[in-house]
Structure 1
Amino acid sequence: MNTDNETIHHADHHLRIARRVEDLSGSSIFRINIKAHDLTERGQDILRLDAGEPDFDTPKSIIDAAKQALDDGFTRYTPIDGLPGLKASIQYKLKRDNNLHYNLDEIMHTCGAKQALFNACMTLLNPMDEIVIPTPNWGTYPSIANIAWARIVEAPTRYDEGFVLQPDVLEKCLSDRTRVIILNTPNNPTGQVYSREALSALGNVLLKYPDVIVLSDDIYEHLRYTDEPFVNILNVCPSLKDRTVVINGVSKAYAMTGWRVGFAAGPAQLIAEMQKLQGESTSHTAAVSQKAAEAAFNGNLDDVHKMVKAFSRRAKMVADGLSKIDAIDCHPAQGSFYCLPNFERVIGSLDGVDDDQQFGDWLLEELGIAMVPGSAFNAPGHMRLSFAASDDTLRKGLERLQKAFG
């Protein structure tokens, strides 16, 4: 055997990566996560304000249901669209929490809400179809659009308008090539919530474009800190139901990020096509996870309300702390567990720091604070601050920021 020749052969081999993957940019979220972890391993006191998941345990009643499901033999394949009990619980949840009525063939489960978004976009978008994404936005939205080789049309929102998309801006972004728009409230990364009036104004615009499908990302639905009840686009514009997909899951509200259960509810024909796609990819999430999610949706919201009470207290703590720093502008969070402070003036005052990416590294190395650069969310000059962290961690982080920039 000529191992030298084999070595030469392998050394000359050039791995060709498909463009749909090669064109994806690395996530700033994961980069900061890795760097913060490395610094922690080296003994540095790093305050993690970058988390995208609740810092609570999954409620005991849900874990008990999962244990019972294992004892009952839920360890095998399930239908692609989900176990019948899970689908019935989703149907119940939508009626109870959202006053939305769906038939079972209009509902499917997915491996997290992210797969619901992926399924919908890959089913609806042909190359160069247009997708409207309000900015700032969760970084996965444009990534999925790029995988589908769609054309992204950014619909900018403004700080002085509460990061809420205005109807005139939406109108300018829509055309006969528009196929999809994504709406997300409560919003990641801004922490802002769309009012009934704001959604109604957008709905009136969308009614004029009958070929546009709305993806309503409601994953932070229960995490709200105002007295206004949750509404999505269908609550204020029910005539859009035949071209809206409601996307949600158990990750955020029930502290079940690792269980990987989401769902999509929409027109039966579209749901059937999305099932075909899922059948050739993940098929379904684990049967035990589906039974756990079934228990979550069928149960009361007592544990959710306890978490929301804690998040609400933390949101106020962060808002009060940031308000003491003149160089930082930030809207108090109305929902989710994020806010998006503007650090442009701070960045401009630091030698050798030219943008939010460099500032993210500076924060880690100089102050021991992990936050995600806003450019990951189409918000350069900002930083996403997560208050899915303990009160003590938040207090220390705010004190360090106040000492450095106050």
Structure 2
Amino acid sequence: MLKTQEKTIYLGVEQEMLAKRLSFIKPSPTLAMSAKAAQMKARGIDIINLSAGEPDFDTPDFIKQAATAAMAKGMTKYTAVDGMPALKKAIQQKFLRDNQLSYEPEQLMVSTGGKQVIFNALMATIEQGDEVIIPAPYWVSYPDMTALFGGKPVFVECIEANGFKLTPSQLDEVITPKTKWLILNSPSNPTGELYSKEELMALGEVLLKHPHVYVMSDDIYEYLVYDEKPFYTIASLVPGLRSRILVVNGVSKSYSMTGWRIGYGAGPKELIKAMTMLQSQSTSNACSIAQAATIDALSSDLGFLKAWKTEFAARRDFFHAEINKIEGLSARKASGAFYLYINCSGIIGKITPQGSTIESDNDFTTYLLEHANIAAVSGAAFGLSPYFRISYATSKEILSQAIRRIAAAVAELT
């Protein structure tokens, strides 16, 4: 860093040329940890990366074949900003089939991943000082996106005893005249917890009393639910809220298409119109080839997912049982997604072999990375400590190695 009389130059960039709004956000902690793990691995260090939020299974062949066929047909040009008509029709059919929800094409849009849907929605609606209720623990990007547009994240601590889920009384207490959005994510990243039908309906009863509050239902892990538990979206359970609910979904997680970058949103026409206008001035349409492949993905019978879910559930059961055998660590058995949110309160205050004190979950994940070559993400990144998140979207063999390393590292603490 070089200092002059009038300005600071950092990494060759004059800070005075950068917008002040950048001070409101930070790089994604989960992506940062994955990048650090990749860098260490590139240096020849045997890193086990449990920080990545993506399935380890390959995209199903029939989806890849659909992309190849699309290219052969010349489907390599611009599409409508809000998505191909054929894809929007497939999305309509998906909502009718799986969620008993009916949407017109003007109520749907396709973006480059679910993240862009959320980004577009918040940019289109938030005014300076508007409040967004974000249950904690939360996906790391919700608060940063809110702050970027001048909004105020309102965090509600959702304790482990309540399944890390927002209660109706908590919701009622934090709604103010400035509240613009409530963001709900089920199954949850980072906890894997699933809201029941009754829990969502109870939240809906609170929201019906506050007609100025919009609801963003992030359903990206919809199909990754275990133990025969049903998935519900609040949009289908509380019809009185339909005019102010934005449903966010996509193919990244359930179809193992993280790199294809296709997400979609369903909501009020005027909101979708505004989001589309913004997208027309940013990315324009999502990749035409990925859109074409997604038509086949959404129209499939999801038969491939049965084997994936069986494997995910087995990995979850294994890691959950083993982590609870390690003194100082404990975890709930998640109902969905592919994460465990592990309580490490029993580790806080312990001393490392190097003589340092573990004072936080950040310290503990740093210790695991440097001492055990395990990459995990601290609970601080998700707004609730002392916890850390691991992804079990990797093989049983690797998870077994990870457990042995974590157990050995914890055993060396005094």
Question: Do Structure 1 and Structure 2 share a fold, with TM-score over 0.5?
Answer: yes
Q: Structure 1: how far apart are the matches of 2:32 and 2:229?
A: 36
Deviation at 1:265, TM superposition (A): 0.4
Report whether the alignment pairs 1:393 with 2:394. no
Matches of 2:277 and 2:73, distance apart in 1:
29
Aligned to 1:329: 330
Aligned-residue offset at 1:207: 0.3
* 1:4-403 equivalence runs, <5 A: 15-350=16-351, 351-403=356-408
Say whether the 8 Å CA contact 2:121–2:275 is kept in structure 1: yes
Q: Secondary structure at the match of 1:209?
A: coil
TM-score by length of 1: 0.95
**Distance change >3 Å, CA 338–CA 279, structure 1 → 2:** same
CA–CA separation in structure 2 for the residues paired with 1:365 and 1:12: 31
Range moving further from structure 2, 248-257 or 227-236? 227-236
Specify the code of the residue in structure 2 equivalent to 1:150. G
Aligned amino acid, residue 279 of structure 2: Q
The offset of 1:113, in angstroms, is: 0.3
The CA distance in 1 between the partners of 2:365 and 2:35, in whole Å, is 13
Query: Structure 1 residue 174: deviation in Å?
Result: 0.4
**1:240-274, Cα deviation, whole Å (9 max, x unpaired):** 11110110000000000000000000111211111
Aligned-pair identity (%): 39
Contact 1:130 1:153 in 2 (8 A): yes
Q: Which residue of 2 aligns with 1:4?
A: none
Structure 1 unaligned blocks of 5 or more: 1-8
Distance 1:236 1:326 in 2: 41
Within 1, Cα distance between the matches of 2:37 and 2:15? 33
Larger mean CA deviation between 224-233 and 55-64 belongs to: 224-233
1:12 deviates by 11
Q: Aligned in 2, Cα 1:320/1:269: closer, same or farther, shift over 3 Å?
A: same
RMSD of equivalent CA atoms: 1.7
**CA distance in structure 2 between the aligned counterparts of 1:174 and 1:305, rounded to whole angstroms:** 40
Q: Which moved more, 1:245-254 or 1:24-33?
A: 24-33
Deviation of 1:15 after TM superposition, in Å, equals 4.1
The amino acid across from 1:265 in the alignment is A
Distance 1:26 1:352, change over 3 A: farther
Report the more deviating stretch, 342-351 or 237-246.
342-351
SS at match of 2:165: coil
Give distance in 2, aligned partners of 1:28 and 1:82. 30
Structure 1 contact 154–173 (Cα < 8 Å) conserved: no
Matched residues in 2 for 1:33 and 1:318: separation? Answer: 20
More deviation in 55-64 or 350-359?
A: 350-359
SS in 1 for 2:181: strand
Aligned partners of 1:33, 1:198: CA distance in 2, in Å? 34
Return closer, same or farther for 1:228/1:14 CA change in 2, 3 Å cut-off: closer
What is the alpha-carbon distance in structure 2 between the residues aligned to residue 89 and residue 137 of structure 1?
30
Superimposed CA distance per residue, residues 307-364 of structure 1 (whole angstroms, 9 cap, x where no aligned partner): 1111111111111111212311211111011111011221321333322222222101
Residue type of the partner of 1:328? L
Deviation at 1:41, TM superposition (A): 2.3
1:350-384 C-alpha deviation (Å, 9 max, x unpaired): 33332222222210111111101111100222111
Letter in structure 1 aligned against 2:42: E
Partners of 1:136 and 1:377 within 8 A in 2: yes
SS at match of 1:340: strand
The 3 A distance-change label for structure 1 pair 167 and 44 is: same
Question: In structure 1, how many angstroms separate the alpha carbons of the residues matched to 2:198 and 2:101?
Answer: 19
- Using CA pairs below 8 Å that are at least 6 residues apart, which structure has the higher relative contact order? 1
Aligned residues: 398
Residues 15-24 or 288-297, more deviating = 15-24
SS in 1 for 2:109: strand
CA distance in 1, matches of 2:148, 2:367: 32
Q: 1:95 offset after TM fit, Å?
A: 0.8
Contact 2:92-2:105 within 8 A present in 1 as well: yes
3-state secondary structure, aligned to 2:22: helix
Residue 304 of structure 1 and its aligned partner are, at CA, apart by 2.0
Report the residue type matching 2:366 in the other structure.
D
- Aligned to 1:272, what secondary structure does the other structure show? helix
1:384-404 Cα deviation digits (max 9, x unpaired): 110011111111111222333
Q: Deviations over 1:193-251 (max 9, x none)?
A: 00111111100000000011100000000011132211011222121111101100000
- One-letter amino acid of the structure 2 residue matched with residue 239 of structure 1: G
Q: Which runs of 5+ in 2 are unaligned?
A: 1-8
User: What corresponds to 2:6 in structure 1?
Assistant: none
CA distance in 1 between partners of 2:134 and 2:13 (Å): 42
State TM-score, norm by structure 2.
0.93
Is residue 181–residue 215 contact of structure 2 (8 Å, CA) maintained in 1? yes
Letter in 1 for 2:104: N
